[in-house]
């Protein structure tokens, strides 16, 4: 689809500086702009590209001052916040590209499943018995939804997502390709001799509240009893492991390759970096930030604390310790020199 500068300005409440009738049909980075594309400038590090870009339209802040003229083929749209305005257009662009409805064949929808209005079910999808699906839900090809699941309004399940039985997913959620929700928790009990492990049945479920997004190839295990819970607004990156009976608090974000072991409770508004490992049966207070590759082996009770290391501790202490650690080779050399002076032999 094509949009004119005038139409775009109306959407983002901007002011056109140039040809309001110029058309764009695609998006681009400012340094890679071509004729017919829309770009933006928000980071001062990219300012020089505004004078050389071939993009037809560039969104800039109202406060931005041109030091040289832009190319005659480039039209500017001035807004209060160029980054936010471009993000708004990206969302609109994504909606247009993913707008689908109807049930494709072949697919299987159980006779007693309830599907809301304006939904999309892709080819080879499977929807089990007593499933309830809200309005404007998109279920892409090869998605599996087990018996008795409930999916809220405006939720999207991308290709290959597997939702095991009895799981609940809220409104406005996005689950990316090949993620598994509701697989068995890692529960095994050793026998009396301790050599053979017997599987403990995992009969709970997973509850995902509203506005949650989960990256691709992640795994959210069902609870042994009760529920594994992702609270409202949680964001998980790709390749994240959430074990059985874990609870992640509202608006907490977890970066890729991190794992939370069973029955740990993470507070709200936490930020967990990539490759973080959290042991089981712990509690992490609200607002805690954990740096990438850290290992958490005990509960964190102080709200808002920032930690790093494995085992992790306060980031200020970590930085001071790291300075000492880096100085150990020099200290070793000094000790060696002193030893030679004291004992020349």
Distance CA 292, CA 123 (A): 39
Q: What is the pLDDT of residue 327?
A: 85
pLDDT digits (tens, 9 = 90+) for 53-64: 999 999 999 999
Instruction: Grade residue 345 by pLDDT with cuts at 50, 70 and 90.
Output: low
- CA atoms 296, 231, 233, 267: torsion sign: negative
pLDDT above 80 (res 195): no
The residue among 324 and 17 whose pLDDT is bigger is 17
| DSSP of 239-259 | S-EE-TT-EE-TT-EE-TT-E
Any idea of the CA torsion for 273, 277, 283, 286, to the nearest 10 degrees?
A: 0
Helix (H, G, I), strand (E, B) or coil at 293: coil
Instruction: Grade residue 319 by pLDDT with cuts at 50, 70 and 90.
Output: confident
Mean pLDDT of 177-206: 91
The residue among 100 and 31 whose pLDDT is bigger is 31
CATH of 164-318, one of 2.160.10.10, 3.50.50.60, 2.40.110.10, 2.70.70.10: 2.160.10.10
Helix (H, G, I), strand (E, B) or coil at 141: coil
Domain ranges of the chain: 3-97, 164-318
- Residues annotated as catalytic (active site), given as ranges: 244
Q: What is the mean pLDDT of the chain?
A: 95
Q: CATH for 3-97?
A: 3.40.1390.10
Distance CA 54, CA 38 (A): 10
Structure tokens at 140: 């892409």
Angle (CA) 122-124-127 rounded to 5° is 80
> How many Cα atoms are found within 13 Å in the side-chain-facing hemisphere of 159?
5
The residue among 270 and 313 whose pLDDT is bigger is 270
């Amino acid at each position: 689809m094509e949009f004119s500068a005038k139409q775009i300005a109306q959407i983002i409440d901007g002011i056109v500086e140039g040809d309001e009738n110029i058309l764009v049909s695609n998006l681009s980075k400012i340094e890679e702009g071509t004729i017919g594309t829309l770009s933006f400038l928000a980071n001062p590090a990219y300012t020089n590209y505004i004078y050389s870009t071939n993009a037809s339209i560039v969104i800039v802040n109202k406060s931005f001052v041109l030091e040289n003229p832009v190319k005659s083929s480039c039209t500017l749209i001035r807004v209060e916040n160029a980054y936010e305005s471009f993000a708004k257009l990206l969302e609109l662009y994504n909606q247009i590209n993913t707008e689908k409805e109807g049930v494709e064949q072949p697919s299987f929808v159980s006779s007693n499943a309830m599907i809301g209005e304006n939904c999309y079910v892709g080819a080879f999808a499977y929807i089990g018995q007593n499933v309830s699906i809200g309005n404007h839900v998109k279920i892409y090809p090869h998605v599996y939804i087990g018996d008795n699941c409930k999916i809220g309004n405006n939720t999207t399940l991308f290709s290959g997502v597997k939702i095991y039985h009895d799981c609940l997913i809220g409104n406005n959620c996005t689950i990316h390709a090949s993620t598994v929700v509701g697989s068995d928790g890692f529960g095994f009990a050793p026998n009396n001799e301790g050599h053979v492990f017997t599987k403990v049945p995992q009969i709970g479920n997973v509850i995902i509240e509203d506005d949650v997004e989960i990256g691709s190839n992640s795994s959210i295990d069902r609870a042994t009893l009760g529920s594994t819970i992702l609270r409202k607004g949680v964001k998980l990156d790709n390749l994240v492991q959430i074990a059985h009976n874990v609870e992640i608090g509202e608006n907490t974000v977890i970066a890729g390759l991190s794992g939370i072991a069973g029955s740990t409770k993470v507070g709200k508004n936490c930020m967990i970096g990539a490759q973080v490992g959290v042991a089981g049966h712990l509690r992490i207070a609200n607002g805690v930030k954990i740096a990438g590759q850290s290992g958490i082996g005990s509960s964190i009770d102080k709200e808002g604390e920032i930690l790093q290391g494995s085992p992790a501790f306060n980031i200020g202490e970590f930085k001071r310790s790291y300075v000492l650690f880096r100085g150990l080779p020099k200290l070793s050399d000094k000790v060696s020199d002193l030893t030679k002076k004291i004992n020349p032999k």
